[in-house]
Amino acid sequence: MITVLRAGPLTTVQDLGRPGYAHLGVPRSGALDGPALVRANRLVGNPPEAAGLETTLMGCKLRFEEAVTVAVTGAPAVVKVDKAVVDGPVVEVPAGAVLEIGRAAAGVRSYLAVAGGIAVEPVLGSRSTDTLSGLGPDRLTDGMTLPVGAASGSDREDPGAPAGYDGELVLGVRLGPRDDWFDVAGLFGYSYQISPMSNRVGARLAGTALTRAKAGELPSEGVVLGAVQVPADGQPIIFLADHPTTGGYPVIGVVDDVTPLAQARPGTTVRFRDLD
């Protein structure tokens, strides 16, 4: 068992999500930075799809009742075991020890994998917390406990750290289905900043509002991961893992890879490039 001593502002259990249920109104959810979680799992000998913890900016503090191997990846942060700073992503935690993940020095989300995985009950084949629908385990709170599965004994490997999390993001987007509702030339001509109102549901952008080219309202339509939706204020929203499965605002394109947005802090500059 793991006992949560400090949950942090938003720490959740995440795996690679529950794709394939959008027709039932269920988002895919899962780790926003999937490659970081996969790396953490491989470092402790877990299969890539094992569940771990996703922290947000301020980390968390945990007590491990039994000795275990863990790995911390994603946003870099100071990691301590019983108040002693440890080096490297892989940490051997003694029984009864307290592990603390500190504030992210860059990026937003750190990932903790435990040998054996976080063994909460799966829902629709996934242990991911969905912050929009409420499916899956509750977000972590102080004092709660989490079960740990049996370590597989598989060989550990390190697929290598990802690129840094600082700097401007350039996101590839394919236009449609409602790109004729706006002057989309502005989408590729403007730069935007990540809004502090962003979360696991979507990355809200702030900048020059897109000009509406067609009046009227749409009935709700299906939306997908990476959909660029434009609400009434003309400021685009890019849907992330916990996005709704339908929406009534026009979707003018789809971003091909939303992974960089997992680590984009408020104020990060975002530009778009046309993939069509």
83 and 12 inside one domain = yes
Q: What is the pLDDT, as a whole number, of residue 127?
A: 98
**CATH number for the domain that contains residue 197:** 2.40.100.10
The structural domain count of the chain equals: 2
In a domain? residue 153: no
DSSP bridge pairs for 35: none
pLDDT value at position 270?
Answer: 97
Query: Residue 12: which of 46, 50, 51 has the closest Cα?
Result: 51
In a domain, 156, yes or no: no
- Residues near 144 by Cβ (< 8 Å), separated by ≥ 6? 3, 4, 7, 138
Question: Are 42 and 115 found together in one domain?
Answer: yes
Q: Does 158 fall in a domain?
A: no
Among candidate residues 115, 146, 177, the one where a domain is terminated: 146
Residue 154 belongs to some domain of the structure: no
**CB-count exposure of residue 3 (10 Å: 0-12, 13-18, 19+):** middle
Task: Give dist(CA 156, CA 91) in Å, integer.
Answer: 13
Residues 111, 202, single domain; the answer is no
Together in a domain, 134 and 204: no
Tell me, yes or no, whether 142 and 204 share the same domain.
Answer: no
| 23 assigned to some structural domain | yes
Distance CA 266, CA 160 (A): 26
In a domain, 31, yes or no: yes
Same domain as 113, residue 20: yes
Pairing, β 237-239 against β 90-93: unpaired
* Best CA proximity match to 59, nearest among 114, 118, 137, 140: 140
- Whole-angstrom Cα distance, residue 166 to residue 207? 20
Phi, psi of 87 (to 5 degrees): -105, 155
Strand 2-6 with 237-239, pairing: unpaired
Residues of the chain whose pLDDT is less than 50? none
The pTM of the full predicted model, rounded to 2 decimals, is 0.96
Check residue 137 and give its pLDDT: 97
Q: What is the DSSP string of the chain?
A: -EEEEE--SS-EEE-S--TT-GGGT------SSHHHHHHHHHHTT--TT--EEE--SS-EEEEESS-EEEEEEES-EEEEETTEE--SSEEEE-TT-EEEEEEESSSS-EEEEETT-B-PPPBTTB----TTT--SSPPP-TT-EE-B-----PPP--------S-S-EEEEEEE-SSGGGB-THHHHH--EEE-TT--SSEEEEEESPPPB-S-S----EE--TTEEE--TTS--EEE-TT--SEESSPEEEEES--GGGGGPPTT-EEEEEE--
- Token pair belonging to 166: 């600082």
One domain for residues 58 and 177: no
Note the pLDDT tens digit of each residue in 80-104: 999 999 998 999 999 999 999 999 9
Q: Are residues 124 and 184 in the same domain?
A: no
Domain termination residue (choose one: 79, 111, 146): 146
- Residues whose CB is less than 8 angstroms from the CB of residue 152 and which lie 6 or more positions away in sequence, other chains included: 45, 46, 47, 115, 116
Asked, for residue 162, whether it belongs to a domain, the answer is no
User: Which CATH number covers residue 48?
Assistant: 2.60.120
Please tell me whether residues 95 and 177 are part of one structural domain.
no
Range of the domain at 43: 2-146
If asked whether residues 121 and 216 sit together in one domain, one would say no
* 206: β partners: 193
Whether residues 100 and 175 fall in one domain: no
Do 53 and 93 share a domain, yes or no? yes
Domain membership flag for residue 40: yes
